[in-house]
Amino acid sequence: MGVIKLPEESINYFKRNLDDIFISGNLAEGFWNKKISEFVKNLTRAQAALPTNSNGAGMVALLTIYRHYFGRTNVLIQSNTMYGVKTMVYTGGCNLSGFIQCRLESLMPSLQDVRNAIGFLDQKEKDKLVILLSHIGGIINPDIEAIAELCKKENIILLEDCAHSFGAT
């Protein structure tokens, strides 16, 4: 097993701020979350950013919200993904409706793969659907913008697991 080597700059930053972190009592929330939220909003030009303790916790929270408030109970995930993505679906109280095939070239679904996966669904089923796609190895799905447009047109919620591609362009 390898060891994660933190950059000296990161270690020094942590040391300089350690007292503030412990004195505040906000180890997981508060000032530091606000600071990372502002950093992410500026970096990504997003209107909002809410830090969570892990990608899984964030996805479970979103799936739970979409299920509880909007009746989105069914989820399609891509066939090439981590096992944890599958468990997020169940933990969020949703049904795993199936898998979307992936292209060998990108290891992610193409626009046509998504069309094939939803093609047999009627509008009532689409209105209950969430598609959860993962960017793989720091690479953004080449068809993600077209997939997002298709989902918007079909009234399907698209969630992107960007844990491996944060900051990628």
State the SS3 of 40-77: HHHHHCCCCCCCCCCHHHHHHHHHHHHHHHHCCCEEEE
Q: What is the per-residue pLDDT across 82-106, written as a single tens digit (0 to 9) for each? A: 888 999 999 999 999 999 999 999 9
pTM of the model: 0.80
Task: Answer whether residue 28 shows pLDDT above 70.
Answer: no
Highest averaged pLDDT of the listed ranges 5-9, 20-24, 25-29, 91-95: 91-95
Tell me what the mean pLDDT of segment 32-44 comes to: 86
What is the pLDDT at residue 47?
Answer: 93
Task: Answer whether residue 66 shows pLDDT above 90.
Answer: yes
Task: Answer whether residue 5 shows pLDDT above 90.
Answer: no
- Distances, alpha carbon 44 to alpha carbons 111, 112, 169, in Å: 24, 28, 10
Task: Answer whether residue 125 shows pLDDT above 80.
Answer: yes
Strand partners, 133: 160
Task: Answer whether residue 29 shows pLDDT above 70.
Answer: no
